[in-house]
């Protein structure tokens, strides 16, 4: 089975550390970057060395750490040039207020600021993760520097809001290692949906029988959440309407939690016309108990079994597809057999331009899947792979069709 490369395979990153307590997170960041496939060259300022040793960073990266612009190991003694010529990006985490000030003014009196100035800006982007006390971050000088850095093309990741090492609470915390990894992986994804808005349904729905029981299904929501992440990585503004699932919201995605099919319908229908794309991955319950009991249904002494009248839920996808100003609609078909036949039948019945077929029992809850894309032209197989890789392929296929549609 093809598995995701972690998102950074083949990439070479210069990881710069400036002085800050958040240096303790940089060791973990280095670990997750290398685990995601990147090779990482660490560069530390003298202030960073006050917080974490070069020994730790060398051991984790498998490469000697650079700390000085006078490093004689380089044959030409030009570490500031050599390091960035082989790099796909420079990532500075933590970026202190002092380092940001230096970068904003093009100062270059130590190796890290020097290599930032000496890097080829078009082939070696600069990403920084600020880390500082909230007053330092909010100070007009820092905000001015941040604005200047953005104007110069620097990507600023975070900062986060929360408890700070100094005991205060506010904006200025460095993002956690996994959040930074997600941001860096996202940065390198093609921006095929830049400026587009995407609405996605995901997970199962839950239809109440009484206050403690209900009808649901085995959908885990993993495929829908992976698609939400992939669409956000591709530059789209993503709204995810999720049934009851235990999954973290992908970074940058707006999430609306719902429980029943009717709640999902109520959240989706008014929002749909404001979106360019609608992707219905949710396993929506087809029916619900017509009159859920107000109180828990109790066992009867006569051993009689309760029976329920069922009523049909609204079809969210078909309703969106019937809107006069409908977005580009993508349906899913979770089948147990005859995938192609059922997917094609759904394409017509729901009047949508693309249906993605998969074998439900083989994928519910799993981390991998195989997809069959069915449209008016024919069908395309996306072979078994992890759900994030498939989601990225699917997003690229949707972007291609969307561009052809609007051309």
Which regions of 246-395 does DSSP assign to beta strands (E)?
A: 254-257, 277-280, 287-289, 310-312, 328-335, 354-359, 368-375, 378-386
Q: Shortest gap between Cβ of 144 and ligand CTP (angstroms)?
A: 48
Q: For residues 46 and 322, which CB has a smaller minimum distance to ligand CTP in the complex?
A: 322
Q: Shortest gap between Cβ of 94 and ligand CTP (angstroms)?
A: 43
Q: Which helix (H) or strand (E) holds 92?
A: strand 89-95
Burial class (CB in 10 A: 0-12, 13-18, 19+), 35: exposed
Q: Shortest gap between Cβ of 350 and ligand CTP (angstroms)?
A: 6
Nearest to 12, CA basis, from 32, 33, 27, 26 = 33
| Residue 197 neighbours by CB distance under 10 Å | 17
Q: For residues 164 and 201, which CB has a smaller minimum distance to ligand CTP in the complex?
A: 201
Q: For residues 66 and 332, which CB has a smaller minimum distance to ligand CTP in the complex?
A: 332
166: Cβ contacts below 8 Å, ≥ 6 apart: 133
Q: For residues 267 and 316, which CB has a smaller minimum distance to ligand CTP in the complex?
A: 316
Using CA atoms, how far apart are residues 331 and 328, in angstroms rounded to an integer?
Answer: 10
Q: Shortest gap between Cβ of 127 and ligand CTP (angstroms)?
A: 36
Q: For residues 185 and 390, which CB has a smaller minimum distance to ligand CTP in the complex?
A: 390
Q: Which of 23, 116, 124, 166 is catalytic?
A: 166
List residues binding ligand CTP (CB under 6 A). 201, 261, 280, 282, 284, 286, 313, 315-317, 331-334, 346
Q: Shortest gap between Cβ of 372 and ligand CTP (angstroms)?
A: 13
Q: For residues 129 and 202, which CB has a smaller minimum distance to ligand CTP in the complex?
A: 202
* DSSP structural state of residue 254: E
Q: Is the dihedral of CA 274, 279, 280, 282 positive or negative?
A: negative
Which regions of 203-293 does DSSP assign to beta strands (E)?
A: 207-210, 213-215, 237-242, 254-257, 277-280, 287-289
Q: For residues 242 and 284, which CB has a smaller minimum distance to ligand CTP in the complex?
A: 284
Residue count of the chain, please give it: 407
Q: Is the dihedral of CA 62, 182, 235, 346 positive or negative?
A: positive
Catalytic residue flag (residue 329): no
Q: For residues 79 and 333, which CB has a smaller minimum distance to ligand CTP in the complex?
A: 333
Torsions phi, psi for 213 (to 5 deg): -130, 155
Written as one string, the DSSP assignment of 120-185 is -TTTS-EEEEE---HHHHHSHHHHHHHHHHHHTTPEE---EEEE-TTS-EEEEEPPPHHHHHHHHH
Q: In what order do the strands lie in the sheet with 328-335?
A: 254-257, 237-242, 197-202, 277-280, 328-335, 354-359, 368-375, 378-386
Q: Shortest gap between Cβ of 319 and ligand CTP (angstroms)?
A: 8
HSE-up (13 A, CA, CB side) for residue 345:
8
Active site positions, annotated: 166
């Amino acid at each position: 089975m093809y598995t995701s490369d972690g998102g950074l395979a083949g990439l070479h990153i210069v990881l710069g550390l400036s002085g800050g307590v958040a240096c303790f997170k940089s060791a973990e960041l280095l670990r997750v970057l290398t685990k995601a496939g990147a090779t990482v060259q660490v560069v530390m300022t003298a202030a960073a060395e006050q917080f974490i040793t070069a020994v730790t960073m060398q051991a984790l990266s498998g490469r000697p750490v650079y700390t000085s612009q006078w490093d004689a190991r380089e044959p030409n003694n030009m570490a500031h040039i050599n390091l960035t010529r082989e790099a796909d990006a420079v990532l500075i985490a933590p970026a202190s207020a002092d380092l940001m000030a230096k970068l904003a003014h093009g100062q270059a009196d130590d190796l890290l600021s020097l290599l930032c100035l000496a890097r080829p800006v078009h082939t070696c982007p600069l990403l920084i993760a600020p880390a500082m006390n909230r007053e330092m971050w909010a100070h007009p000088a820092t905000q001015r520097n941040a604005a200047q850095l953005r104007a110069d093309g620097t990507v600023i990741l975070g900062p986060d809001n929360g408890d700070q090492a100094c005991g205060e609470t506010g904006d200025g915390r460095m993002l956690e290692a996994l959040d930074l990894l997600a941001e860096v992986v996202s940065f390198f994804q093609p921006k095929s949906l830049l400026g587009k808005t995407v609405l996605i349904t995901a997970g199962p729905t839950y239809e109440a029988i009484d206050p403690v029981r209900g009808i649901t299904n085995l959908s885990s929501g993993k495929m829908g959440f992976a698609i939400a992440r992939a669409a956000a990585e591709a530059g789209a503004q993503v709204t995810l309407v999720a049934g009851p699932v235990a999954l973290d919201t992908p970074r940058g995605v707006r999430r609306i939690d719902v429980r029943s099919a009717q709640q999902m319908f109520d959240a989706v229908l008014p929002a749909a016309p404001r979106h360019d794309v609608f992707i219905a991955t949710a396993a929506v319950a087809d029916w619900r108990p017509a009159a859920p009991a107000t109180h828990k249904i109790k066992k009867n002494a006569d051993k009689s079994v309760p029976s329920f009248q069922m009523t049909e839920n609204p079809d969210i996808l078909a309703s969106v597809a019937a809107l006069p100003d409908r977005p580009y609609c993508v349906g899913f078909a979770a089948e147990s057999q005859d995938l192609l036949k059922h997917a094609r039948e759904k394409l017509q019945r729901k009047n949508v331009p693309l249906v993605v077929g998969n074998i439900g029992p083989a994928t519910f809850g799993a981390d991998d899947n195989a997809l069959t894309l069915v449209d008016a032209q024919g069908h395309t197989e996306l072979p078994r792979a992890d759900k994030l890789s498939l989601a990225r392929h699917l997003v690229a296929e949707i972007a291609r069709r969307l561009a052809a549609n609007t051309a």
